[in-house]
Amino acid sequence: MKKTWLKTAIAVAVGALSTQVMAAGFALNEQSISGMGTSFAGRSSSADDATTLFGNPAGMSRLQREQVSFGMAAINAKTDINDTSSFPASGSNDGDMVPVTAVPMGYYVKPLDDKWAVGVGVYVPFGLITDYESGFEGRYFGDYSEVRVITVQPTVSYRFNEKLSVGFGPTINRIDGQLESAVPPATPGATADSRVKIKGDDTALGFNVGVLYEFTPHTRAGITYRSKVDYTLEGDTQVSGNDPTLAFIGAYGEYDASLDLETPESIDVSITHELNDQWTLYGGAMLTRWSRLESIIVENGGVAAGPATAAFGTIEEEQDWHDTWSYALGAAYKLNKQWTLRTGLAFDQSPTNNTHRSPRIPTGDRTAVSFGLAWNPTDDMTVDLAYSYLWEEDTKIQQASATRGTYNATYENSAHGFGAAMTYRF
């Protein structure tokens, strides 16, 4: 019993950490407010401002002046949970588990001459907080998750000629997170849950590289490759409560935990076409290699020799994710020198499946529509505002465990995204 319960607790907590990081849950993966206005269509080819450092580092060569861009995105998510059933847990399914969260970003780009440009960006590629109510019916499969990745990217670009530019930037990625779950009573007649809480963090390196080709002064295409990142999360797992059986077998305490995690690479391709002085059209697609996440392997240690050591050996939990495509179309209309309107439509596949999807990552295929506004009060300043509304197909949770029981539900997810940014040119 001790071995089975401890393996289950650690696998659930650490395994959820890795999947939560990559899935991004309800979060809009915002790194550019100007791009948000077109649903990120043309992300690797637009090169409108300093945020191209993320979208396509080769685009920095198109910027004529030194500039800084900083902004903030926020998400307000809503979930309806229906068709629920569980055993042995009972409780509520409010669905109000995603607090409004702000996501900052900042970029600086400096052209050195007509060929070279350098810059640095700070952004949050992944981040989410899900906080279910204390009596959540699916609490044995996860009721609190907080994960974030902060990236710093120094970048350089080079323009070979009027048509071809390249860019490259290493990424320094800091990940940290906290996951919590309830544990069902092990003593007959007991009603109080125990708790499992895990914390972990790591810093790892990756890179972004891009190519921008300008067919004509009005039409350009870009491709951006974002590398995989290898993490080794180190942290601890705390098991707490007052269940007599769990106390007797020595389940309560603090333990070391380690997880090797490989986030997948992605390829972003897009095209930008300036139809005339007023209209600009964008289109793009991105492939993400989520199939790298076949299973989660956890190594545990730091406990006394004996039965507990065996319980903290190698733990594997199957995920079986699949590669995904996302697509987007967008347009911008320049009313005059001061005002530009934007809009876009995007479709994004989910890597999860009905067999392994959990309450921590209850996401499905999503559709998003976006609107944006750019205001240029002077030649030196641009203010960008954006709004997105996304909705997902109904997704099913079908969880079953010998130690945690069952939880089945249907999730209906939607979200409002808001963004504001300012770019200043020196």
Given this model, what pLDDT does residue 326 score? 93
The total number of structural domains in the chain stands at 1
**Top-confidence range, 28-32, 91-95, 400-404:** 91-95
Beta carbons of 196 and 29 less than 8 angstroms apart: no
Give the confidence band of 127 by pLDDT, cuts at 50, 70, 90: confident
State how far the Cα of 271 lies from the Cα of 250, in Å rounded to an integer.
60
Given this model, what pLDDT does residue 119 score? 97
Provide the mean pLDDT of the chain.
85
- In this structure, how many other beta carbons lie within 10 angstroms of the beta carbon of residue 49? 25
Domain that holds residue 324: 2-425
Give the confidence band of 120 by pLDDT, cuts at 50, 70, 90: very high
Instruction: Check whether 16 has a pLDDT greater than 70.
Output: no
Question: Any idea what the CATH number is for the domain that residue 233 is in?
Answer: 2.40.160.60
**Residue 309: φ, ψ to 5°:** -60, -45
Give the confidence band of 12 by pLDDT, cuts at 50, 70, 90: very low
For residue 46, give the nearest of 334, 271, 362 by alpha carbon.
271
Unique residue bearing structure tokens 């490759």: 225
- pLDDT tens string 270-312: 999 999 999 999 999 999 888 877 666 666 565 444 444 443 3
- pLDDT tens string 227-258: 998 888 888 888 899 989 888 877 788 888 87
For residue 143, give the nearest of 187, 86, 183 by alpha carbon.
183
Two structure tokens written together for 21 = 């990081």
- pLDDT tens string 173-184: 998 888 888 988
Q: In the predicted model, what is the mean pLDDT of residues 44-52?
A: 94
- pLDDT tens string 218-228: 999 999 999 99
* Amino acid at site 111: P
